[in-house]
Structure 1
Amino acid sequence: MKSIISCILLFAYAANGQQSPYGQCGGTTYTGPTSCVSGWACTSQNPYYYQCLPAATTTAKSTSKPTSSVVKTTSSSAKTTSSSKVSTKASSTSSTAVSTSTGFAKTSGLFFDIDGKTEYYAGTNCYWCGFLTADSDVDHVFADISSSGLKIVRVWGFNDVNTIPSTGTVWYQYLSASGSTINTGADGLQRLDYVVSSAEKYGLKLIINFVNNWSDYGGIAAYVNAFGGTASSWYTDSGSQAQYQTYIKAVVSRYSTSSAIFAWELANEPRCSGCDVSVIYNWANSTSAYIKKSLDSNHMVTMGDEGFGPTTGGDGSYPFTTSAGGYNWQSNLNISTLDFATFHLYPESWGTSASWGTLWITTHAAACASAGKPCLLEEFGYSDECAAVESGWQSTSLSTTGMAGDMFWQYGDTLPSCNCQTSNDGNTVYFNTSDWTCFVTNHIAAIEAKYGS
């Protein structure tokens, strides 16, 4: 996804014509601020993305004290010293539940098997669902999504901070070299608890992600602030990886028996600038094995990457090179503890055309078919009406061997608690609008025509 910066920070820095820490500051087609705040330097990550990175390595530490509703961990041993497991059962406050779940989602050849049906599935991204503070809003959103025929919803399972915010602000993990904490309180993982319980009620399947490559909601940047290093060294840094696995364990243990979990996801759009492709391969291999073999063998695990670097079948453009993300997507298909492959599609951000998207889809599908694993077009967006571009991508995905599903970025709705609309980043598709008809209603009808309702 495109990095979504907090509105407060965005307005504050924009007033000074400067970009915020870890924000984009340059690249092909970029038109925003090109200078960074004091102490940060605009650094090239690739021709299409320049980022504000620390001018010098820092290990900033917060002096905030953890609250009573946290699980405290130590960076040296990465062992949880206390635990708090919260039930995912909760009563509905709005629409009637429609769950027909019959067990855990799984792969079946080149497709997914959900509730006993093996076919192509459509879904959406709702990164903000776990940060809603009203249960009625969560139920409303999931009732609307479920009524449409969409089945898979991707949510952020992370919200990292280096300074503990005031009561009432949602955060999941406080990161510090002197002792990190996992918030299991009412403004912490209990919010994610309700998301899982609501998904159970409405028959939806969740992809839950553990960390962000971007600085939104903390991400790798928050680990770097706490433990030092860089975004690239994060994948091999012992302190960061120990705490990352501790957090994974805390989240997975809460929902390992829930039928609402579709898959655990290692990261949102992981990249390792300037790295050998073995770095991300080894990190993904060890982390996915840790989840599958030590924590939860019931659910699927996937990467969450953009799909950079398939070297067979492409046109040689930048996204088809391993330098784009610092990994070889095709080689990562060989990791046995990754159950299916993900890839994203944003031609405008990558300096390619809308029509190029067809090649991107078919190339990945062919590699998945050869590897015997399903492919999921996990995110896609384009600044045009759906009928002009994106419905064509959906049709291509639906008709191509190796593709098992697609999920547009991103879902939008009107929340009952405030009668206000959710985040609009330019790619938001709001429930029951004309774009919704194109992205969802027509697409679900095409799927049902192919596989039966």
Structure 2
Amino acid sequence: MHFLLYFWLLTSISLCLAVTPSRTIAKRDPTSFVSSTSSGFSVNGSSLRYVGTNLYWLPTLESNDDIWNVLANISSLGIKVVRLWAFNDVETIPDTGTWFQLVQNGTTTINDGPNGLQKLDTVIQMAEQQGLYVILSLTNNWNPVPNTTTTGNSTQVLASTNIPRNTLSNDFGGMDLYVRQFGLQYHDDFYTHAGILTAFQNYTQQIVTRYADSPAVFSWELANDARCNSTQATSPTCTTQTVTQWHATMASFIATLDSNHIVSAGTSGYQCTDCQKLYPITPTVTSTPSPAPGKKRKVTPLTNAQIVRKRAESKRRSRAAAIRAGTLKEDGIRIRGRWVSTMARRQEISTGSSSTTDGSAGVDSQDILNIPNIGFGSFQVFPDQESYGTDDPNLDPVDNKINSSLLWIQQSAQSAAAVGKPVVLTGFGLVTQDNLQSFVPFNMTYAPYASMATDVVNTTTSFANSTQQETGYSSFLENNDTKSIAVANSAGLAGVMQYQWGSTGITQSSSTIQLDSSTSPSTDTGDTPNDGYSIANNTAIQQILMQGAQAMAANPL
């Protein structure tokens, strides 16, 4: 009996060593870790300005060879940073596949096995070997569950159930899973409930201390897209200060565990110029580039007046172009042969108010960025899911998305410049007509366009074709070159990250690609997960990312 026990332990240890590299990493010189400055990032005494990509699904790949090949392909393009989920929460232990933490009935259990955190160990070590840095996000704002309806004794799932677990970025657990399993009602209970805070800090401590000495870690991202609202209802008391205070609490907590790495916010960049601040800023004179070389520029906080002015300037330019081309359209409705703006349109334009700037989402990214323990800020660009301003009637739908995104980039850069910390575009993407049937919005569990006929989908002009996607991605990257637009230049985006990477020829089996138990196991190969933004086999976009990486590296801040 003792011999069998000894043999089982020896076999288990050997298996773990074979499955994943050791996570024991020697202490490093402090300069080997990424640090943030007032203008950007540095490592080993050199400036680091980068193009990156997102691969939330990377630790769920079954084959270590696949993980290695994905990272190698990314590194070969000159991409320096990848962003992924360092969480994978479940409410019940799945029969197969990767999971990191069980959250059930107010208790939590961490999976440190080969299908748990050892998978994350593998990713971190392979990233270091490939010369890549990793932004590790610790939880997600989004975790919707399929809607159901009960008829008699049968329950029918209304949302799609043939999307495999961990295919979607919102299917890794997160805030609402904690709320449900702690028996609470509101999404924002995640930020304020003592029991949830203790549980989340426990998980955070396990992750942070595990990789505190790893130079491959770029930063600890507190949460992806934190805000007051999600699938769960929002309480009447959630405000921007609720979300800001949670970031401050968590940033301070991590600072007690790890002095090597930056703590970052992962917000979508929502702003609130008129909200009361927990961390108010004072306008300062900075040494950022200005039209007069050698002189310092006074950077002031973003205001509604500035937002309105930039939008008006953009509309004037497109209107002048439309007049020259003979294609002028007016905004509003036609009355007696004249175009008149509607009251709602005039009010939105005059106030600069929208869901991204009025604080209604409960996010004030500038206030969060000014928290002392936050090293850099973030924002995102997803114009197929967000509106960054009023549409210009002289632009087609896709051009409106691109144009408003460029204004949003400039606006976000200026907001960060007033704080005097770096800001990173942590995710940008345009859904193409070819990808539309796979597109699942971040707060949904199914692809709303999947039932449309292919010929109808491909003529949906409100979504980009491949050429328009290439134009948009090039614009998002070029807009951040130090020789480009003055407002973005005044802050200088320190990093720009595409969402999301995609690869083909990935090992797949029933544990990751099919939830239907009636399907026989398979060892086929296929694509990595796709929620509508994957660039698998898209060599044109990969080439754009490579060129952007070269330009960013050649123009350090």
- TM-score interval w.r.t. the shorter chain? 0.7 to 0.9
Deviations 1:96-115 (A, max 9, x none): xxxxx971011133111134
Give distance in 2, aligned partners of 1:329 and 1:297.
Answer: 23
The code of the aligned residue for 1:257 comes to: D
Equivalent position of 1:444 in the other structure: 549
Aligned counterpart for 1:88 among listed residues 5, 8, 23: 23
Q: 1:261 to 1:267 in 2, by over 3 A?
A: same
Q: How far did 1:388 drift?
A: 2.1
Q: How far did 1:423 drift?
A: 1.8
Length-normalised TM-score, structure 1: 0.74
Give distance in 2, aligned partners of 1:309 and 1:174.
Answer: 34
The code of the aligned residue for 1:133 comes to: E
The runs of 5 or more residues in structure 1 that have no matched partner are 1-67, 69-85, 91-100
What pairs up with 1:184-199 in 2 under 5 angstroms? Answer: 184-199=112-127
Aligned counterpart for 1:349 among listed residues 352, 377, 385: 385
Q: How far did 1:135 drift?
A: 0.9
State whether structure 2 residue 109 is matched by structure 1 residue 181: yes
Aligned counterpart for 1:334 among listed residues 366, 370, 378: 370
State whether structure 2 residue 318 is matched by structure 1 residue 213: no
Aligned counterpart for 1:306 among listed residues 265, 268, 271: 268
Secondary structure of the 1:363 match is helix
Q: 1:173 to 1:201 in 2, by over 3 A?
A: same
Equivalent position of 2:408 in the other structure: 360
Q: How far did 1:247 drift?
A: 0.2
Give distance in 2, aligned partners of 1:140 and 1:291.
Answer: 32
State whether structure 2 residue 203 is matched by structure 1 residue 226: no
Q: 1:193 to 1:265 in 2, by over 3 A?
A: same
Contact 1:130 1:195 in 2 (8 A): yes
The more displaced of 366-375 and 408-417 is 408-417
Secondary structure of the 2:136 match is strand
Q: 1:110 to 1:176 in 2, by over 3 A?
A: same
Give distance in 1, aligned partners of 2:270 and 2:506.
Answer: 39
Secondary structure of the 1:320 match is coil
Q: How far did 1:222 drift?
A: 1.3
State whether structure 2 residue 222 is matched by structure 1 residue 279: no
Length-normalised TM-score, structure 2: 0.61
Q: 1:121 to 1:240 in 2, by over 3 A?
A: same
Q: How far did 1:411 drift?
A: 0.5
Contact 1:309 1:319 in 2 (8 A): no
Equivalent position of 2:42 in the other structure: 113
Contact 1:121 1:405 in 2 (8 A): yes
Q: How far did 1:322 drift?
A: 4.0
Deviations 1:291-310 (A, max 9, x none): 01x21010001111101124
Aligned counterpart for 1:149 among listed residues 78, 96, 104: 78
Q: How far did 1:178 drift?
A: 5.2
Aligned counterpart for 1:261 among listed residues 209, 217, 231: 217
Contact 1:171 1:183 in 2 (8 A): yes
Q: How far did 1:269 drift?
A: 0.6
Secondary structure of the 1:412 match is coil
The code of the aligned residue for 2:89 comes to: D
Deviations 1:309-361 (A, max 9, x none): 24224342424324342121121122010000000011221234320112211
Equivalent position of 2:529 in the other structure: 423
Q: 1:89 to 1:142 in 2, by over 3 A?
A: farther
Deviations 1:203-255 (A, max 9, x none): 11001111111112111121012112221221101111110000000111111
The more displaced of 108-117 and 256-265 is 108-117
User: Radius of gyration: which is bigger?
Assistant: 2
Q: How far did 1:445 drift?
A: 3.1
Give distance in 2, aligned partners of 1:331 and 1:349.
Answer: 24
Q: 1:391 to 1:283 in 2, by over 3 A?
A: same
State whether structure 2 residue 54 is matched by structure 1 residue 125: yes
Contact 1:345 1:357 in 2 (8 A): yes
Secondary structure of the 1:231 match is coil
Q: Considering Cα pairs closer than 8 Å and 6+ residues apart, tell me whether 1 or 2 has the greater RCO.
A: 2
Secondary structure of the 1:330 match is helix
Contact 1:155 1:206 in 2 (8 A): yes
Equivalent position of 2:320 in the other structure: none
Count residues with an aligned counterpart. Answer: 356
Equivalent position of 1:395 in the other structure: 478
Secondary structure of the 1:285 match is helix
Contact 1:108 1:118 in 2 (8 A): no
Moved over 3 A (4+): 415-419, 448-452
Give distance in 2, aligned partners of 1:435 and 1:321.
Answer: 30
Q: How far did 1:398 drift?
A: 2.7
Give distance in 2, aligned partners of 1:448 and 1:190.
Answer: 33
Give distance in 2, aligned partners of 1:179 and 1:388.
Answer: 48
State whether structure 2 residue 242 is matched by structure 1 residue 289: no
Secondary structure of the 1:187 match is coil
Give distance in 1, aligned partners of 2:554 and 2:92.
Answer: 51
Q: 1:319 to 1:117 in 2, by over 3 A?
A: farther
